[in-house]
């Protein structure tokens, strides 16, 4: 590893626009809109504005699962290209002041309901349609525990390990080791639990599985950050089995394609307004 100069934090931190690595053009220490941009409006009550990152995939998988289950959960999904700064448009900021995808607007309520944060959207939709969230108190608590476990754990995988391993302007051994250790600990938590359970809540497939699959399924099946070998993901066979079972579901396969802006053309459904969009 190359020698680096010791860093002494200044008394008051100042923003250096050049120090943000790959995403320096969109990262900033302040909130709010950078430009005026109205959001498009479709014909369905549910309006989703998102991108097919793991956090976006959670929601589109649930929406497709709800439709597969016969629920009236038709939705319009519009692409928010975060690499181009679309999340800082005035319309999106009004929907999510945190400027992160995904964000949902439900126009079926007397006053339109905005929901941001992927875990909150999953809970909102599961409760709205009465699906994929157990009602029995003990099972419900187990489901929500794993859902919130994922919400608290994924920043170590994405913003921590992913940033320092794949996107930071230089490789820093301490940072990579710190986050690799935590990601492997999390994978081991899942692997141990799934040794005795088909899904995270026993034999019942829930929003907890959808949320965790989006991140840890991608980790063990799709080599995110090109780190599968580095993290030895093959050493988590129960996570692999679980992720493969989820990914075999038709609704999951459709959900992974919605708001996708990269990869093979046949897998991209940049906008989704009806089931026929998957055929084009």
163 and 144 share a domain?
Answer: yes
Q: Helix 237-247 to helix 173-194 angle, to the nearest 10 degrees?
A: 70
142 and 126 share a domain?
Answer: no
Structural domain of 213 = 137-248
> Residue 210 domain-assigned?
yes
82 and 178 share a domain?
Answer: no
150 and 78 share a domain?
Answer: no
104 and 52 share a domain?
Answer: yes
> Residue 180 domain-assigned?
yes
CATH number at residue 56: 3.40.30.10
**What is the maximal distance between C-alpha atoms in the chain?**
61
237 and 156 share a domain?
Answer: yes
On the question of a cis peptide bond just before residue 194, with omega within 30 degrees of 0, the verdict is no
**Residue 215 DSSP code:** I
181 and 104 share a domain?
Answer: no
Measured torsion, CA atoms of residues 239, 242, 246, 247, in degrees rounded to the nearest 10: 50
For residue 155, give the H/E element and its range: helix 137-155
Task: Look at the pTM and tell me if it is higher than 0.85.
Answer: yes
The length of the chain, given as a count of residues: 280
273 and 205 share a domain?
Answer: no
3-class secondary-structure state, position 280: coil
Per-residue pLDDT tens digits of the chain, which is 280 residues long: 455 678 899 999 998 876 666 777 788 899 999 999 999 999 999 999 999 999 999 999 999 999 999 999 999 999 999 999 999 999 999 999 999 999 999 999 999 999 999 999 999 999 999 999 999 999 999 999 999 999 999 999 999 999 999 999 999 999 999 999 999 999 999 999 999 999 999 999 999 999 999 999 999 999 999 999 999 999 999 999 999 999 999 999 999 999 999 999 999 999 999 999 999 7
């Amino acid at each position: 590893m190359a020698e680096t100069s010791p860093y002494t934090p200044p008394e008051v931190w100042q923003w250096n626009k050049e120090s943000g690595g790959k995403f320096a053009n969109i990262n900033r220490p302040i909130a709010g809109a950078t430009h005026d941009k109205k959001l498009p409006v479709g014909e369905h009550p549910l309006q989703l504005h998102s991108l097919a990152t793991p956090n976006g995939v959670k929601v589109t998988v649930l929406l497709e699962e709800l439709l597969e289950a016969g629920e009236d959960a038709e939705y319009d999904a519009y692409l928010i290209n975060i690499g181009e700064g679309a999340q800082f448009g005035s319309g999106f900021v009004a929907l999510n002041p945190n400027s992160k995808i995904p964000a949902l607007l439900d126009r079926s309520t007397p006053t339109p309901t905005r929901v941001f944060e992927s875990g909150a959207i999953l809970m909102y939709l599961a409760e709205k349609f009465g699906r994929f969230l157990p009602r029995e108190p003990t099972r419900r608590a187990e489901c929500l525990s794993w859902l919130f476990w994922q919400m608290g754990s994924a920043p170590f995988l994405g913003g921590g390990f992913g940033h320092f391993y794949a996107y930071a302007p230089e490789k820093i051994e301490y940072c990579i080791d710190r986050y690799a250790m935590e990601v492997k600990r999390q994978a081991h938590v899942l692997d141990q639990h799934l040794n005795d359970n088909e899904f995270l809540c026993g034999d019942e497939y829930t929003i907890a599985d959808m949320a965790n699959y989006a991140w840890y399924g991608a980790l063990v099946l799709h080599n995110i950050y090109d780190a599968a070998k580095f993290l030895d993901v093959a050493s988590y066979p129960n996570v692999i089995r679980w992720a493969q079972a989820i990914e075999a579901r038709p609704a999951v396969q459709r959900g992974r394609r919605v708001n996708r802006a990269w990869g093979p053309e046949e897998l991209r459904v940049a906008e989704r307004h009806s089931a026929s969009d998957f055929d084009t």
